[in-house]
Amino acid sequence: MRRYLFFGVHADPPPWLRRLAAALPFVLLLALYLGASQLRLAENPDDKILPSLAQMADAVQRLAFRPDPRSEEYVMLKDTTSSLARLALGVGLSAATGLLLGLNMGLFPGMGAVLLAIVTFVSIVPPLAILPILFISLGVDELAKVALIFLGIFPLITRDIYNTVAALPREQITKALSLGANELQLAYRIVLPQVMPRLIETVRLSLGAAWLFLIAAEAIASTDGLGYRIFLVRRYLAMDVIIPYVLWITLLGYLIDWLLRLALRRLYPWYQA
Amino acid sequence: MNTTEQLSALRQKNLLHIENVYKQYGARVVLDNIDLSVARGELCTVVGPSGCGKSTLLRIVVGQEAPSSGDAFIEGAPAGYPDATRGIVYQKYSLFPHLTVLDNVLLGKVLESSIFGRVRARREHRDEAMQMLERARIAEHWKKYPHELSGGMQQRVAIAQALIKKPRIVLMDEPFGALDPMVREDMQVLLLELWEEYGMTVFFVTHDLEEAVYLGTRVIVLSQYYIDDRGAAAEQRGAKIVADHALPRRAFSTSVKSSPEFIELAAEIRRAGFDPTGARHVTQFNLSHPDSFQTLTAAESRALRAQEGP
């Protein structure tokens, strides 16, 4: 039988080809950018829209590896730690709240009756639309930014955990009771460990939204943070800062996702998603 | 002849007692006046055509569902919600996917302790759990997770898991229904061995007639195929116990399945419960088991109506 390397439904690309194929779009994109940048800079050396690699490296050097002359801080490091702290706090609170609410709503019909409608309602409110309310009522400090991330993603996590718990076979619950479990044990020793891997999956999916809310909040009212910096230098058309920052955020997001995936595999070997 | 005193004596004496139980979902009647009393030590199998409500009956005994009317009793007390008096083995979902084989078996013991005593409970009962796994011939897989085991192996673990709590009665819902014929026979022999060794009381639901006759010391046939005197008014009728046989305990060897008596009994049960054309009148059921009783209503039996008379 003829083997197809690349084309058609029967294709079975060998590993080297798969890697090459995956790299191709990145290489093309980079080449396209560099070519366009070169053309523009040849026309006008002061052009700011498509900075060269050297200009970007220069900007990164200035922001990441040299302390700011006024505050004596490393600007990119400070931006990164501030943003990650907000993100971690917002996502962590959402995960904990979503887990507890979803678990109890899914397991105890009374809790479900009280909370399901309100959680669904809150999850439909567009978080960015209430950002002004948050800034007005909570001030422009950290609290409002964390609150935006929290309000943006906790309802989704709650609903996902609720669905997971509600979909557990009834037999499992009966079985646990028949082994002498009381209701607390049922919730926290039988059901909770079973939804933990699902929680990690949901958090992974929610991180994209969490970054969106973080950057939006930082863009509007902040004194540091990755999103703040990007929107600050936008005024000077400083693409040499914006592009490295965007790549850095993407890299951070990818790393967090990879860590969560690793944790899922290590901590829950029984879970096959 | 079921006087109130006799019934109450039966209720007190026997481990499981069900009286006048009806179950309906909306307009559909599933169980229609079920009367059943099971003594300690019995291996009672319940067999019937698919959709006759066997599993519904089991869920009522478990406490997972409440009867629409009537009562179930365990040792004379109302059965109530699921608890440690009744062990359960399902066809699937018996094992907890997040626990290893050993931890699945230990769970019943670990749940007896507080959060802080958990580690100690695991240590203390480890040997006991390993012994149970040894008895179920699955001990070498103690480290694995359920998804790494075949169906038959999972059911061995599920039986060990239920037995470690020493429940008064073990309820089994088609536990071997999804297994290959060879594995299934192995499991049947294993169940008989464990039943004898631990003196268990077992309530075993199956759709497999051979299995029911081979395993049971008592076979109960639940079926929607019967005749009564309710007439057209009772078009929506549910299943009843149409036969109830006491069986001699034979050798464990599966070769009895080809003996003439075995085949004759299986054929008799097939006629009584599985064949719509063989339907018998409610007063004609073969309820020969000594613990069997029947509380017919006057509507169901004309003879009873005549007896009560004006």
Residue at A67 is within a domain:
no
Q: What is the pLDDT of residues A107-142, one digit of tens each?
A: 999 999 999 999 999 999 999 999 999 999 998 888
Nearest-angstrom CA–CA distance, A80 and A67: 15
- Enumerate residues 192 to 231 of chain A having a beta carbon within 8 A of any beta carbon in chain B: 193-194
The predicted structure's pLDDT at residue B310: 47
The predicted structure's pLDDT at residue A39: 94
Is 80 exceeded by the pLDDT of residue B215? yes
- In chain A, which residue's Cα lies nearest the Cα of B96? A172
Structure-token pair, residue A199: 């929680």
- In chain A, which residue's Cα lies nearest the Cα of B86? A178
Q: What is the CATH number of the domain that holds A207?
A: 1.10.3720.10
Q: Which residues in chain A have their CB less than 8 angstroms from residue B92's CB?
A: 171
φ, ψ (nearest 5 deg) of residue A223: -120, -5
Q: In this complex, how many residue pairs, one in chain A and one in chain B, have their CB atoms less than 8 Å apart?
A: 67
The predicted structure's pLDDT at residue A15: 94
Is 80 exceeded by the pLDDT of residue B2? no
In angstroms and rounded to an integer, the radius of gyration of the C-alpha atoms of chain A is 24
The predicted structure's pLDDT at residue B235: 64
Structure-token pair, residue A206: 């929610």
Tell me the shortest Cα–Cα distance from A218 to chain B, in angstroms.
41
Based on the domain organization, do A206 and A244 belong to the same domain? yes
- In chain B, which residue's Cα lies nearest the Cα of A182? B111
Q: Any idea which residue has 């619950």 for tokens?
A: A173
- The domain B4-85+168-308 is classified under which CATH number: 3.40.50.300, 3.40.50.1380, 3.30.1780.10, 3.40.50.11740? 3.40.50.300
Nearest-angstrom CA–CA distance, B277 and B110: 53
Based on the domain organization, do A46 and A83 belong to the same domain? no
Residue at A233 is within a domain:
yes
Q: What is the mean pLDDT of residues A54-76?
A: 89
Q: What is the pLDDT of residues B57-93, one digit of tens each?
A: 999 999 999 999 998 999 888 988 999 999 999 998 8
Q: Which residues in chain B have their CB less than 8 angstroms from residue A171's CB?
A: 88, 90, 92-94
Q: Which residues in chain A have their CB less than 8 angstroms from residue B82's CB?
A: 174, 177-178
User: Within a 10 A sphere around the Cβ of A201, how many other Cβ atoms?
Assistant: 17
Based on the domain organization, do A241 and A124 belong to the same domain? yes
- Enumerate residues 180 to 199 of chain A having a beta carbon within 8 A of any beta carbon in chain B: 180-181, 185, 189-190, 193-194
The string over B10-29, giving b where at least 16 C-beta atoms fall within 10 Å of a residue's C-beta and e elsewhere, is bbeebbbbbbebebeeeeeb
Query: Are the Cβ atoms of B62 and A272 closer than 8 angstroms?
Result: no
The predicted structure's pLDDT at residue A194: 94
Residue at A94 is within a domain:
yes
Q: What is the pLDDT of residues B156-176, one digit of tens each?
A: 999 999 988 889 899 999 999
A83 within 8 A of A227, measured Cβ to Cβ: yes
The predicted structure's pLDDT at residue B52: 86
The DSSP-derived string for A125-148 is S-GGGGHHHHHHHH-SSHHHHHHH
Query: Are the Cβ atoms of B108 and A180 closer than 8 angstroms?
Result: yes
Is 80 exceeded by the pLDDT of residue A89? yes
Q: What is the pLDDT of residues B184-197, one digit of tens each?
A: 998 899 899 889 88
Is 80 exceeded by the pLDDT of residue A92? yes
The predicted structure's pLDDT at residue B232: 62
Winning range, highest mean pLDDT, from A96-100, B76-80, B248-252: A96-100
Is 80 exceeded by the pLDDT of residue B300? no
Asked whether this complex has an ipTM greater than 0.90, the answer is no
Based on the domain organization, do A120 and A204 belong to the same domain? yes
User: By C-alpha distance, which of B202, B204, B103, B83 is closest to B161?
Assistant: B103
- In chain B, which residue's Cα lies nearest the Cα of A193? B98
Mean pLDDT of chain A: 93
Residue at A9 is within a domain:
no
A231 SS3 class: helix
- Enumerate residues 123 to 162 of chain A having a beta carbon within 8 A of any beta carbon in chain B: none
Q: Is A48's Cβ below 8 Å from some Cβ in B? A: no
Percent of all residues in chain B with a pLDDT value above 90, rounded to a whole number: 32
A54 SS3 class: helix
Closest Cβ opposite residue A177 in set B82, B93, B112: B82
Based on the domain organization, do A133 and A224 belong to the same domain? yes
Three-state SS for A150-196 is HHHHHHHHHHHHHHHHHCCCHHHHHHHHHCCCCHHHHHHHHHHHHHH
Residue at A63 is within a domain:
no
The predicted structure's pLDDT at residue A230: 94
Percent of all residues in chain A with a pLDDT value above 90, rounded to a whole number: 84
Query: Binning pLDDT at 50, 70 and 90, where does residue B250 land?
Result: low
User: By C-alpha distance, which of A152, A186, A160, A162 is closest to A113?
Assistant: A162
Q: Which residues in chain A have their CB less than 8 angstroms from residue B111's CB?
A: 176, 179-181, 185, 189
Query: Are the Cβ atoms of B111 and A172 closer than 8 angstroms?
Result: no
The predicted structure's pLDDT at residue B88: 93
Q: Is A66's Cβ below 8 Å from some Cβ in B? A: no
The predicted structure's pLDDT at residue B122: 84
The predicted structure's pLDDT at residue A156: 95
Residues 6+ apart with CB under 8 A from B203: B16, B38, B44, B46, B58, B61, B169, B170, B171, B172
Question: How do the domains of chain B map onto residue ranges?
Answer: 4-85+168-308, 96-166
Tell me the shortest Cα–Cα distance from B183 to chain A, in angstroms.
24
φ, ψ (nearest 5 deg) of residue B76: 85, -10
Winning range, highest mean pLDDT, from A61-65, B1-5, B7-11: A61-65
Query: Are the Cβ atoms of A175 and B88 closer than 8 angstroms?
Result: yes
Q: Select from A164, A165, A179 the residue whose CB has the most chain B CBs within 10 Å, as the one to mutate to test that interface.
A: A179
> What letter does residue A4 receive in the DSSP assignment?
P
Between A21-25, B111-115, B145-149, the lowest mean confidence (pLDDT) is in B111-115
Tell me the shortest Cα–Cα distance from B171 to chain A, in angstroms.
10
Q: What is the pLDDT of residues B119-129, one digit of tens each?
A: 888 888 899 99
Q: What is the pLDDT of residues A206-247, one digit of tens each?
A: 999 999 999 999 998 888 999 999 999 999 899 999 999 999
Could you give the angle at which helices B151-163 and B118-135 cross, rounded to 10 degrees?
120
Q: What is the mean pLDDT of residues A149-172?
A: 95
Q: What is the mean pLDDT of residues A164-170?
A: 94
Query: Are the Cβ atoms of A171 and B90 closer than 8 angstroms?
Result: yes
B14 within 8 A of B203, measured Cβ to Cβ: no
A213 within 8 A of A148, measured Cβ to Cβ: yes
Mean pLDDT of chain B: 86
The predicted structure's pLDDT at residue B240: 85
Q: What is the mean pLDDT of residues A192-215?
A: 96
Query: Are the Cβ atoms of A194 and B62 closer than 8 angstroms?
Result: no
The number of domains in chain A is: 2
Could you give the angle at which helices A192-220 and A226-233 cross, rounded to 10 degrees?
30
B295 within 8 A of B247, measured Cβ to Cβ: no
The predicted structure's pLDDT at residue B252: 67
Alpha carbon of residue B29 to chain centroid: 20
Residue at A251 is within a domain:
yes
Percent of all residues in chain B with a pLDDT value above 70, rounded to a whole number: 94
Residue at A120 is within a domain:
yes
Is 50 exceeded by the pLDDT of residue B53? yes
Q: Which domain holds residue A19?
A: 15-50
Tell me the shortest Cα–Cα distance from B97 to chain A, in angstroms.
7
Query: Are the Cβ atoms of B162 and A178 closer than 8 angstroms?
Result: yes
Is 70 exceeded by the pLDDT of residue A268? yes
The predicted structure's pLDDT at residue B1: 47
Q: Any idea which residue has 């869920």 for tokens?
A: B59
